[in-house]
Amino acid sequence: MLELKRNPTLKDFQDYVLKMKKERGFNTSDKFYECCLLAEECGELISAIRKNTKGGKVGSGSTVGNISEELADVLIYVCSLANIHGIDLEEAFRAKEEINKTRTWKKVL
């Protein structure tokens, strides 16, 4: 049975997502399809945040989304895309942050 480590690293999340997708028969190679699914989940996250920002008052037939579930879905697809492209997310994050440290940032309030 598939189980995520108690205190997982980012690599553990990536490994778990790959194993989970294979076990469930989900896509593990179609980059474009996976990108579309990520975009879909980002839209669901945005919708959940918008609906929660309104204090739960939404139109008829619409419900307030679960932000934590949508964030988890986005993380799953980010890990999956990294796996498909052979990218170690921790290495990528660290490398990008070194670039970002050299940039000048305009503060937005």
The DSSP line for 15-79 is HHHHHHHHHHT--SS-HHHHHHHHHHHHHHHHHHHHHHHTTT---TT-----HHHHHHHHHHHHH
Q: Residues of the chain with pLDDT > 90: what percent?
A: 76
In a domain, 2, yes or no: no
Residue 107 placed within a domain: no
> Average per-residue pLDDT in the chain?
91
In-domain check, residue 91: yes
Q: What's residue 56's pLDDT?
A: 58
22 occurs within a structural domain: yes
Convert the pLDDT of each residue in 65-77 to its tens digit: 789 999 999 999 9
pTM: 0.86
Domain of 21, CATH number, reads 1.10.287.1080
Q: Is residue 105 over pLDDT 90?
A: no
Average confidence (pLDDT) over 16-37? 97
In a domain, 59, yes or no: yes
Number of structural domains, the chain?
A: 1
Domain extent for 21:
10-101
